[in-house]
């Protein structure tokens, strides 16, 4: 299932640096997949689904770059990326 993830200015404002569950990317993913709980670790994301258990997915390079910049207190802007969640 391929979905468009939109990281908004509001996600950036609400996000926490160095957070594995509450960074702007995790907030945006949670909005698109409300029944799943993302856990971001480096370039990999674990998603805990209520009925599906945990799945690991590689994040796109653009999302990984964004997270690194955000965590290092660099200026970031809203952006979009596609995430392919296996069913």
In the chain, domain spans:
2-79
Strands 36-41 and 44-49: antiparallel
What percent of the chain shows pLDDT beyond 70? 87
Please give the average per-residue pLDDT across 67-75, as a whole number: 96
16 CB-near residues (< 8 Å, 6+ apart): 22, 23
30-45 pLDDT, tens digit per residue, is 898 887 777 776 667 7
Q: Which pTM does this prediction carry?
A: 0.86
Please give the average per-residue pLDDT across 63-81, as a whole number: 96
What percent of the chain shows pLDDT beyond 90? 54
The Cα-based distances of 21 to 3, 16, 18, 65 in angstroms read 19, 9, 9, 17
In contact, 1 and 83? CB cutoff 8 Å: no
């Amino acid at each position: 299932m391929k979905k468009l993830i939109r990281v908004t200015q509001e996600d950036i404002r609400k996000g926490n640096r160095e957070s594995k569950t509450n960074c702007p990317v995790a907030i945006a993913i949670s909005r698109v997949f409300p029944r799943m709980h993302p856990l971001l670790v480096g370039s990999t994301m674990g998603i805990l689904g209520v009925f599906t258990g945990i799945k690991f997915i590689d994040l796109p390079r653009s999302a990984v770059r964004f997270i690194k910049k955000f965590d290092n207190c660099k200026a970031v802007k809203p952006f979009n990326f596609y995430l392919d969640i296996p069913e």
